[in-house]
Amino acid sequence: MTGKAPAGGFANYFGPQAERYAEFRPTYPMALFHYLAVRSGRTRVAWDCATGNGQAALGLAVRFARVVATDASEAMLQQAPPHPRVVYRVARYESGLPAGCCDLVTVAQALHWLDLDPFMAEVRRVLAPGGLFAAWCYSLCRVTPAIDEVVDAFYRVTAGPYWPAERRHVDDGYRALALPIDELAVPPFVMAHEWSLIDLARYVRTWSAVGRLREARGDEPLLAFEDAMRGAWGNPGLRRTVTFPLAFRVGHLR
């Protein structure tokens, strides 16, 4: 398998900005969780690994009787809203679940941060026969051609040198990751939000590369990007549809 964590097993890129991440990241469409529940066949227990602030876990809790949501960052979990059917645990790959109890294992926007060997070993241990594995990610949002050009240039040129190497897996939709699954074709789910210019700027500030960029070069490159965004956006009070195409790796273990 490919995919690895850095020395020590965990890169805490988001813990220092956990509150901002929880507030300004896009949320997944509820239709996705209904689809996963149907394809899982049973909806007793789901494990959401690398849950962050619980975005996927809360969606799963609408359809699953019990959701165990784990993350290596305690700071991220502290931002996760409580839910009567969700149990949060600080852990990398050790779910704490009995063998063969899960109908679904998910990892949302985080598979690229995981060491696949120990993670998939735990997935294999906890999945019930016929259980489903689902990983997904999203890369660059789309708004208008003019706005997209500004975002793309900032992403690839200004912030490009500051992205962790694992980010390349997000850009290719996880296709290069060797996963031991019989893959399913997933409908083309898309996240879409009506955002203001300020909403989009706040989201960009949650990027892992932006934190590293600001440490290295201060705020000037980010402020220049936000100034260019104002020119492309037009009326700053205008809300625009911001879409995030989702890429999936979903299937049954083989």
Q: What is the pLDDT of residue 23?
A: 66
Helix, strand and coil content of the chain, in percent to the nearest 5, comes to 40, 25, 35
Q: What is the pLDDT of residue 214?
A: 96
Distance CA 51, CA 21 (A): 12
* pLDDT of residue 77 exceeding 90: yes
Tell which wins on pLDDT, 19 or 164: 164
Contacts of residue 174, Cβ cutoff 8 Å, sequence gap at least 6 = 111, 112, 135, 137, 247, 249
Q: Is the pTM of this model over 0.85?
A: yes
Task: Evaluate whether 141 touches 242 at the Cβ level (below 8 Å).
Answer: yes
Task: Evaluate whether 167 touches 209 at the Cβ level (below 8 Å).
Answer: yes
The predicted-structure confidence for 145-168, as pLDDT tens digits, reads as follows: 999 999 999 999 999 999 999 999
Q: What is the pLDDT of residue 15?
A: 46
Task: Evaluate whether 209 touches 162 at the Cβ level (below 8 Å).
Answer: yes
**pLDDT confidence bin for 17, thresholds 50/70/90:** low
What percentage of the chain has pLDDT greater than the value 70?
91
Tell which wins on pLDDT, 11 or 42: 42
Tell whether domain 15-253 is in CATH 3.40.50.150: yes
Distance CA 48, CA 69 (A): 5
The predicted-structure confidence for 46-56, as pLDDT tens digits, reads as follows: 999 999 999 99
What's the count of helices (H) and strands (E) in the chain, helices before strands? 10, 8
Contacts of residue 114, Cβ cutoff 8 Å, sequence gap at least 6 = 3, 5, 49, 50, 92, 93, 107
Q: What is the pLDDT of residue 176?
A: 95
As a whole number, the mean pLDDT across the chain is 91
The predicted-structure confidence for 180-222, as pLDDT tens digits, reads as follows: 999 999 999 989 999 999 999 999 999 989 999 999 999 999 9
**Residue 8 one-letter amino acid:** G
